Structure 1
Amino acid sequence: MPVSKRNRTVTLSKTKKKGREHKEAIVNAIKQAVEDHSSAYVFTFENMRNQRFKKFREQLKSSSRFFLGSNKVMQKALGRSRADEVKHGIYKLSKCLHGDAGLLCTNLAKEEVERIFQEYEEHDFARTGTIATEKVELKEGPLEQFTHEMEPYLRKQGLPVRLNKGVVELVSDFVVCEDGMPLSPEAARTLRLLDIKMATFRLHLVCRWTPDEFEIYKEGLVLSDAADSS
């Protein structure tokens, strides 16, 4: 009997990756955005949340264009030096694209951009590895916020619990996390159950470019003339 060709296992090595065409499309989109907008900014982010960033981006879509992804691709689009920059002085933005960074091209006034970024923050549940911002300790006794069905799951997270007449009870004091220490997977899940949000999604402006000027926001970031030829 012939082997069916409908159900074949495809190894990950054979799946299509984002290749040269995808990178070139991004480069072209950035170049076009630079042409269509009056200014450009590099920004960094902490505790990125994709859905929240999407909503933030949607609020500005009529006047702005955001780019996130490979810093090298964004640097290539802008130009890494005076010799290959797409606009006068814009290569300096490339020098600021490091780590968790993004690019914003916009027609909004400088004061409006600064206000939006300064005011924006969204609180969310912390993920594994996030540094705890406070000590969370549960005291011995009933945990009435949890139903009896939760008792096995709580035990898996390391909580010393038992059922007492159908009520989840902590048999001894328990420290979920310590201030300044990274969260374990169990601690992150427990904080979510307790509805404690320790992560804040923020965006920070690093630098600003217009055809007439270049400005650095982030203290300690220095652009040396020696780097111009790189």
Structure 2
Amino acid sequence: MPKSKRNRPVTLSKTKKKGREHKENVVNAIRESVEKYDSVYVFTFENMRNLKFKEFRDQLKSSSRFFLGSNKVMQVALGRSVADEIRPGLHKISKLLRGDSGLCFTSLPKEEVERLFNEYEDYDFARTGSIATEKVELNEGPLDQFTHEMEPFLRKQGMPVRLNKGVVELVSDFIVCEEGKPLSPEAARILVCIKCQNLILACIVICGDTLNFET
């Protein structure tokens, strides 16, 4: 009888080594960027989706490089104190890496960087678990955007609806989602039905510094 896969020993040494090598590669890449680019910025983000951020990153590919991931690894790369920072002042940048944040190394002027970040917002249908960016409430009365075939589906999502002479009608006001709260699966489906899109990517620069230090 063949051995059960469940009982086979699994070594983690290769996995650990790969993880360590990846971290070292990130540290080295960040330190190379310190030498290559003129400035570094710390930015925060909300509701990150890889595809949308990739589009933004590709837009700046020729002049900038972005780093996301472990804040601790990025802090190690820059230096977490005056004693181990790789350039004067970078430990101050390091301390700002908290929560959902990243690094942007660039040779663009400060005004251009701030403009690009401030302008880059994207909207799409929010997914289950996403944080609602606004309150969405439907008022009592006819819902002309829905055909009568949609009534059972809407009722299944928790909406207080009925058919009135073939028209879908909301029998009382209904709150789909509250600002700042996670979306339920039902709320996400309703938002798609009413074609209500939420902000899915917003990047905000919180600090920047020049890398043209005298040595």
The Cα offsets for residues 58-109 of structure 1, whole Å up to 9 and x where unpaired, read as 0001111000111001000111012111122222110111111100011111
SS in 1 for 2:174: strand
Kindly tell me: are residues 21 and 147 of structure 1, through their superposed partners in 2, closer, same or farther at Cα, counting changes over 3 Å?
A: farther
Which whole-Å CA distance do the structure 1 matches of 2:27 and 2:99 have between them?
A: 19
Instruction: Tell me, yes or no, if structure 1 residue 139 matches structure 2 residue 134.
Output: no
Tell me if structure 1 keeps the 8 A contact 2:43–2:207. yes
Which deviates more, 118-127 or 103-112?
118-127
Q: Which position in structure 2 is the counterpart of 1:32?
A: 32
Match of 2:210 in 1: 210
Fraction of identical pairs, as percent: 49
Q: Which residue number corresponds to residue 187 of structure 2?
A: 187
| CA distance in structure 1 between the aligned counterparts of 2:11 and 2:140, rounded to whole angstroms | 53
Q: What amino acid does structure 2 have at the position aligned with 1:3? A: P
Task: For residue 28 of structure 2, give the secondary structure of its aligned residue in structure 1.
Answer: helix
Aligned to 1:120: 120
Residue in structure 1 matched with residue 79 of structure 2 by the alignment: 79
1:199 deviation in Å? Answer: 2.5
* Distance in 2, Cα, partners of 1:30 & 1:202: 23
The 3-state SS of whatever aligns with 1:155 is helix
Correspondences of 1:1-230 after superposition (within 5 Å): 2-3=1-2, 8=5, 16=15, 19-127=19-127, 128=129, 130-131=131-132, 133-141=134-142, 143-146=144-147, 148=149, 150-162=150-162, 169-170=168-169, 172-177=171-176, 180=179, 182-185=181-184, 186-212=186-212
Aligned length: 207
- How many Å separate the matches in 2 of 1:125 and 1:22? 34
Which TM-score applies when normalising by structure 1?
0.76
Structure 1 pair 197/83, CA: closer, same or farther in 2 (3 Å)? same
Change (3 A) 1:187 1:72: same
- Letter in structure 2 aligned against 1:106: T
Change (3 A) 1:183 1:136: farther
CA-to-aligned-CA distance 1:184-215 (integer Å, 9 cap, x gap): 412232112211123352111111121357xx
Q: Is the 8 A contact 2:147 2:168 kept in 1?
A: no
Q: Is the 8 A contact 1:137 1:177 kept in 2?
A: yes
CA distance in 2, matches of 1:71, 1:181: 24
**Cα gap change, 1:147/1:104 in structure 2, threshold over 3 Å: closer, same or farther?**
farther
In 2, the alpha carbon distance for the partners of 1:44 and 1:178 equals 24
Change (3 A) 1:181 1:54: closer
List alignment gaps of at least 5 residues for structure 1. Answer: 214-230
Aligned mates of 1:147, 1:10 — CA distance in 2 = 56
Q: CA deviation at 1:171?
A: 5.3
Structure 2 CA distance, aligned partners of 1:170 and 1:188?
20
8 Å contact kept, 2:66–2:102: yes
Task: Name the structure 2 match of 1:222.
Answer: none
Report the AA paired with residue 141 of structure 1. Answer: P
2:120, 2:143 → 1: CA distance? Answer: 38
